[in-house]
Amino acid sequence: MANIIRRPAWFIPDRDITPESAYRNRRRFLAQLGLGAAFLPFLPSATRAADAAASARKGYPYTRNNAFNPAVRLTDESVVTSYNNFYEFSLDKESVRLLTGKFITSPWPIEVKGLCDYPMKIDVDELVSQMPMEERVYRLRCVEAWSMVVPWTGFPLSKLIEKAKPKAEAKFIRFETANRPDQFPGYSNPRTAGYPWPYFEALRMDEAMNPLTLLATGIYGKTLPKQNGAPARLVVPWKYGYKSIKSVVKIEFVATQPKTFWETLGPDEYPFESNVNPRVPHPRWSQATERIVDTGDRIRTQLYNGYGEYVAKLYPGA
């Protein structure tokens, strides 16, 4: 199967990147990638070498699983990494990336706790080495009515849940983002200082176990940039983007439906379930169509963001 995958420009086969070849022999490494000398001036060389070494160390890129591919082109990587909602940094999407300098994402222990037989605290790198990593292309639909198509790298959240063995009483799963007042300028920005930090989200257990639900640690064949939720974030492609919580440090099994960050701020506008649905307008705007961020094209929004085949059964009577 791997042979028939059409590799995008950013796809680098594993065998071409080892930490040594990437670090010690950068020129030959870049030549192997087909990047000419003309490419070199665009980034500081230390950044290039360090990025390549870090990606290689973590085994990126992983093989793409084409089972869920939407029949649409990928959004440009430069747009996905520079147009971000991450209110811990800024309300302004294009500023987020520029404000992540102080954010430390390694080491990154993730705590799995609550109603389960095997609670654990595990570093994200260790988790990656234990989990079945793969790449998947999903649509991402923000409640603000824009959308992207992103190649994520990660593993099905169900695999981690199975390891923790939740008890029968565990009906929901709650997630929390890191709490870093000194690293998140949004905590002290007067417009967002009053928000109920740290960011928190939750899913029903059957939603969390659905094969589509990923814990992502990468995009475009590389580790996640900070602005996209490094080093690990949730991806729930049939729900509005705010359910896909970034920079997760805590995962907790609970018996009753937890509150979420956005539900706390606006229960009528951001309800717990928040499935993408073109027929249910947001109280202040229509959800019938969406704007593709890089092209500006407007397309019709699909029920469950086009993933009904996999998730409609979770919502009988909807």
Ligand X SMILES: Nc1nc2c(c(=O)[nH]1)N[C@H]1C(S)=C(S)[C@@H](COP(=O)(O)O)O[C@H]1N2
Interface residue list for Mo ion (CB under 5 A):
85, 142, 241-242
In angstroms, what is the minimal distance from the CB of 290 to ligand X?
12
Half-sphere exposure of 304 (CA within 13 A, CB side): 14
Residues in 195-214 that interact with ligand X by CB under 6 A: 199
Residues 294 and 76: beta-carbon distance below 8 Å = yes
Binding positions for ligand X, 276-305, rule CB under 6 A: none
**Segment lying near ligand X (by CB under 6 A), choices 114-122, 202-210, 238-246, 273-281:** 238-246
Of the residues 77, 88, 207, 263, which one makes contact with ligand X according to CB under 6 A:
88
Q: State the number of binding residues for ligand X (CB under 6 A).
A: 17
Of the two residues 85 and 301, which places its CB atom closer to Mo ion in the complex? 85
Given Mo ion, ligand X, none, residue 274, with its beta carbon under 5 to 8 Å by kind, binds: none
The reply on whether position 110 binds ligand X by CB under 6 A is no
Which ranges of the chain would DSSP assign to H, the alpha helix?
19-24, 26-32, 45-57, 77-80, 93-96, 124-130, 157-164, 205-209, 261-265, 308-311
Nearest to 306 by CA among 70, 80, 72, 67: 70
Told to check if 242 binds ligand X by CB under 6 A, we report yes
Contact region for ligand X (CB under 6 A) — 166-174, 207-215, 245-253, 273-281? 245-253
Least spacing, CB of residue 133 vs Mo ion, in Å: 26
Nearer to ligand X, 29 or 152 (CB): 152
Burial 91-127 (b: 16+ CB within 10 A, else e): eebeebbebbeebebeebebebebbbeeebebebbeb
Beta bridge partners of 110: 122
- The span from the CA of 15 to the CA of 109, in Å, is 29
Among 105, 183, 228, 305, indicate the residue that binds ligand X (CB under 6 A): 228
* 245 makes contact with ligand X (CB under 6 A): yes
Identify whether the C-beta of residue 152 lies closer than 8 Å to the C-beta of residue 219.
yes
Per the listing, tokens 């963001």 go with 305
Q: Cis before residue 237, ω within 30 degrees of 0?
A: no
Part in contact with ligand X (CB under 6 A); list of ranges 38-46, 86-94, 154-162, 267-275: 86-94
Residue that has been written with the tokens 């956005």 in this structure: 262
Residues that bind ligand X (CB under 6 A): 84-88, 140, 142, 177, 199, 228-229, 241-242, 244-247
